[in-house]
Amino acid sequence: MLAKIVYATMTGNTEEISEILEEEFQQQGVEVTRMEADDADDADEEAFTDADICVIATYTYNNGEVPDNFVYFEENLRKQDLQGKVYGVVGSGDKEYHFATYCFAADTFDEDFKQTGAKKGADVVKIDNKADEKDKEVLKEFVINLMNA
Ligand SMILES: Cc1cc2nc3c(=O)[nH]c(=O)nc-3n(C[C@H](O)[C@H](O)[C@H](O)COP(=O)(O)O)c2cc1C
């Protein structure tokens, strides 16, 4: 089983979340690859081709938008055929200052995945800025749900 995590980050919160997910998959004995959206540019068409579990970790920018360095990837994702695969999305946002658009980018990716034919293996996880201990437990459950889907 191979899990692939693609993430975007600006100040590091989502990168840290992607590392927590990577560690959790490893602890569960699942092979895992993690890449930043910028690095994924050349591989956009194939980013999830060989993955069994597809994971997106994204922050939200400018009134509910997908981060700039994730836009190309996001627009491409919804056109892909990912039938037979399982997906999950984690978002980091700011509940206090951006309540009305809290983690909207995560919901955007969730909608994209629905169009690919992939199976939703876990509910979208939304994290207020940096993951705390409680979030880490939720992320662990997220990984286990994806594995069992
Ligand atoms: C200019 C700006 C706009 C933002 N807009 C939103 C938003 O619309 N919704 C939201 O939930 N968070 C928003 N945020 C908060 C970030 O998504 C949040 O701080 C996140 O943890 C950043 O992730 P990163 O550390 O991986 O870059 C915004 C932050 C900035 C600086």
Q: What's the number of domains the chain is made of? A: 1
Tell me which residue of 108, 17, 16, 19 sits closest to 61, measured CA to CA: 108
Indicate whether 34 pLDDT > 60. yes
Task: Locate the ligand 1 atom nearest the alpha carbon of residue 128 and give its number.
Answer: 21
Q: Which two tokens stand for residue 80?
A: 């892909």
Task: Give 148 Cα–ligand 1 centroid separation in angstroms.
Answer: 31
Per-residue pLDDT tens digits for 66-116: 999 898 889 889 999 999 999 999 999 999 999 999 999 999 999 999 999
Which residue range(s) make up the domain with 44? 2-148
Task: Give 8 Cα–ligand 1 centroid separation in angstroms.
Answer: 11
DSSP 5-65: EEE--SSSHHHHHHHHHHHHHHHTT-EEEEEEHHHHGGGGGGTTTT-SEEEEEEE-BTTTB
Nearest protein Cα to ligand 1, atom 22:
59
Query: For position 84, which CATH number holds?
Result: 3.40.50.360
Whether the ipTM is more than 0.85: the answer is: yes
- Predicted confidence at residue 47, as pLDDT, reads 84
Give 7: exposed, middle or buried? Use CB within 10 Å, 0-12, 13-18, 19+: buried
- Is the pTM higher than 0.90? yes
| Cα gap 70→68, rounded to integer Å | 5
